[in-house]
Amino acid sequence: DIVMTQSPDSLAVSLGERATISCKSSQSVFKGSNHKNYVAWYQQKAGQPPHLLIYWASTRQSGVPDRFSGSESGTDFTLTISSLQAEDVAVYYCHQYYSRPYTFGQGTRVEIK
């Protein structure tokens, strides 16, 4: 199985400041045929299902605020919230859909400092 490891487990950021979450895959999730990394990012608020933010590592889902962005470098993936808002308090998960069984990171909890 591909292991997705996130860091940090939690972080506290001041309103308006940048939040950066990392995710590392234990093996490549890149498919050369379409030049894509098979990684998605989700936001999960308390008592709610996950909400898709980013797919193909860096493509923002329609309707997601542009303060959310994804980037990739080899097997390292990053979710950045450029200016943290109060409504962004949540747990964030990375997800690889490159090979079965599909797997998720352990989650990163984002709070307001």
Binding residues for another protein, per CB under 8 A?
A: 38, 40, 42, 48-52, 55, 61, 93, 95, 97, 100-107
- The C-alpha atoms of residue 52 and residue 17 are separated, in whole angstroms, by 22
**CB of residue 113 vs another protein: minimum separation in angstroms?**
23
**Minimum gap (Å) between residue 36 Cβ and another protein:** 9
Nearer to another protein, 75 or 92 (CB): 92
| Shortest Cβ 16–another protein spacing (Å) | 29
- What is the rounded end-to-end Cα distance, in angstroms, of the chain? 36
Decide whether 11 or 107 has the Cβ nearer to another protein.
107
SS3 19: strand
Nearer to another protein, 62 or 73 (CB): 62
One-character DSSP codes across 78-98: EEEESS--GGG-EEEEEEE-S
Least separation in angstroms between CB 104 and another protein = 4
37 with 81: CB under 8 angstroms? no
Q: Which is nearer to another protein, 88 or 95 (CB)?
A: 95
61 CB contacts (<8 Å, ≥6 apart)? 52, 53, 54, 55
